[in-house]
Structure 1
């Protein structure tokens, strides 16, 4: 039998989606599942985005420009420049979700065997993108004890080699919800300038900053015009995960011209989704104020509830809509499967994401889970109760 590739064998499974067969089997048994495992918001998509697609009148569904529709990129420029980024449309390539933007970035700045330093835990698909691109991830550990704050710059220095091409951060963080401070961003600025590296910032949760904190974009940092690459997406901002529209942004035109070749190779981003995304840019601040207030309430209910469970440690997120909780179990992969196969309270159970898949270092995070607080408040309360009851009876 012909063999699959080594790269294919190395490609990691999604820690978020690999439990789906067990969830489907539980549903077939009549079990109601509170899905805390995936960042699919229940917030309504802005109606103008849906209306724009419904009201489209065209005879031919054509390719868009490989960089994305000019009208959409122009509107993105206006949106970003309202946040002080001083961009032009040539600084933006529209992608099929933020995922493709990350692949474009890695493909543009890294050769096979090059290295990218990433604070861990990190968005699980970074491992997959790196594997697909032939890039080596150099993880730098963060700790739940200080909410997963940026490690000391001296720790980054220890990992930098002649193969290091970039530092990749997610801000605010998935899975941790950590929001980088101005001081931390300034430290990273000095580091990448000193070692002539790229700073790639995944900012798809940039609107979701809590408790009076302010999100600091990589595109607002002085002196990083040749170093900064921003990855963005409409998925979480407008609750449009199914649109699959994101973008790669950089003022480094050598990077953007290189990324354009990757964009041309995949032809173009989806036309209808760009129409929806362009219309979504008219969303008012009132929408975000309401959404942010809702997420803060959900976060507080979840965190307060988790802290009351004996043996559970949880970090307090400053942004996004995730948290990492440390449980008094040996292996949350086994525990998460057990919740779906063997446990229920009043015919209900929960689905969580084991956190080991959000690490690159083998064996780390085995007693942690990621929870997405994307369910309404009463469902979150019930989910915490189910978790507490499960931990009382679970045996490793």
Structure 2
């Protein structure tokens, strides 16, 4: 029998999606499953985006330009200017989700066996994108005891070698909800300039910040014009995960010229999704104001109830809609599967994302889970109650 590739065998499973068969089995047993495992917002997509597709009368569903339609990119640039990010349409490539933007970025700046330093825990698919690109992730651990703040800059410098090409951050963070301060971005700016590296920032949760905190983009007056690459997406901003539209943004002409070749190889991003995403840029600020109020209430409810459970330690999110909880167990993979297979409270259970998959350091995060607070507060309270009762009886 022909063998699959070593690269394919080394591709990691998604810690978010690998438990789906167990959830489906729970459904067949007529259990209610509260999904805390995946960042699919329950917020309605902007009506203006949905109507733009419904009312469009295309006679031919044709390719767009490989870098995305000029009209859409021009409007994205205007959006960025409103957020203190001064870029032009030519400094934007529209991609099939933020995922493709990350693949284009890695392919444009790193060769096989080159290294990218990433504070962990990090978005689990970074592991997969790196494997697909032949790139080595070099982790620098941020700790729940420090609320997942940026590790000391000295820890980054210890890891820089001749193969280091970039530092990659997610801001605000998935899976931690941590929001980097201006001072932390300045520290990263200093080190990438000193060592002639790229700073790649996944900024897809830019709008979701709480308690009056401000998001600072790496292209906001940090002197990183030649070093900065932004990864962005409409998925979470407009609750349009299924649109699969993102973008790569950089003022570095060589990066953009190279990334465009990757874009040309896959021809073009989806046409209808660009129409919806272009219309979504007209979403009024009131939409985001309401969403922030809702997510802040959910965050506060979730954290408060988690902290009432004996032995549970919780990170305090400053942005996005995730948090990491450290549980009094040894293996959250086993625990998450057990919840779906063997436990319920009055016919209801929960689905969580084991956090070890958000690290690349072996053995780290085994007693942690990621929770996405994309359910309403009432459902979150019920879900945390199930977690509390489960921990009372679960045996490692």
TM-score range, shorter chain: over 0.9
Aligned to 2:141: 141
Give CA deviations for 1:197-218 in whole Å, capped at 9, x if unaligned: 0000000000001111000001
Aligned to 1:104: 104
Report the alpha carbon displacement of residue 7 of structure 1 after superposing the two structures with TM.
0.4
Q: Give runs of aligned pairs for residues 1-396 of structure 1, distance below 5 A.
A: 1-396=1-396
Name the CA distance, whole Å, in 2 between partners of 1:222 and 1:172.
Answer: 18
Report the alpha carbon displacement of residue 176 of structure 1 after superposing the two structures with TM.
0.1
SS of residue paired to 1:201: strand
- Structure 1 residues not aligned, in runs of 5+: none
Compute the TM-score of the two structures, normalised by the length of structure 1.
1.00
Name the CA distance, whole Å, in 2 between partners of 1:91 and 1:360.
Answer: 32
Name the CA distance, whole Å, in 2 between partners of 1:219 and 1:45.
Answer: 28
SS of residue paired to 1:80: helix
Give CA deviations for 1:212-257 in whole Å, capped at 9, x if unaligned: 1000001113310000000000000000000000000000011000
SS of residue paired to 2:219: helix
Give CA deviations for 1:49-78 in whole Å, capped at 9, x if unaligned: 000000011110000100001110010011
- Structure 2 residues not aligned, in runs of 5+: none
Give CA deviations for 1:294-334 in whole Å, capped at 9, x if unaligned: 00000000000000000000000000000000000000000
Moved beyond 4 Å, runs of 4+: none
State whether residues 186 and 222 of structure 2, in contact with CA within 8 Å, keep that contact through their aligned partners in structure 1.
Answer: no
Compute the TM-score of the two structures, normalised by the length of structure 2.
1.00
State whether residues 112 and 135 of structure 1, in contact with CA within 8 Å, keep that contact through their aligned partners in structure 2.
Answer: yes
SS of residue paired to 1:90: helix
SS of residue paired to 2:370: strand
State whether residues 298 and 373 of structure 2, in contact with CA within 8 Å, keep that contact through their aligned partners in structure 1.
Answer: yes
State whether residues 295 and 373 of structure 1, in contact with CA within 8 Å, keep that contact through their aligned partners in structure 2.
Answer: yes
Give CA deviations for 1:258-304 in whole Å, capped at 9, x if unaligned: 00000000000000000000000000111000000000000000000
Name the CA distance, whole Å, in 1 between partners of 2:68 and 2:220.
Answer: 23
State whether residues 189 and 221 of structure 1, in contact with CA within 8 Å, keep that contact through their aligned partners in structure 2.
Answer: no
Give CA deviations for 1:15-41 in whole Å, capped at 9, x if unaligned: 000000000000000000000000000
Name the CA distance, whole Å, in 1 between partners of 2:221 and 2:147.
Answer: 24
Name the CA distance, whole Å, in 2 between partners of 1:208 and 1:42.
Answer: 15
Report how many residues are paired: 396
Q: Which moved more, 1:38-47 or 1:219-228?
A: 219-228
Report the alpha carbon displacement of residue 367 of structure 1 after superposing the two structures with TM.
0.2
Report the alpha carbon displacement of residue 83 of structure 1 after superposing the two structures with TM.
1.5
SS of residue paired to 2:371: strand
Name the CA distance, whole Å, in 2 between partners of 1:164 and 1:91.
Answer: 24
SS of residue paired to 1:38: coil
SS of residue paired to 1:225: coil
Name the CA distance, whole Å, in 2 between partners of 1:357 and 1:40.
Answer: 18
Name the CA distance, whole Å, in 2 between partners of 1:37 and 1:225.
Answer: 36
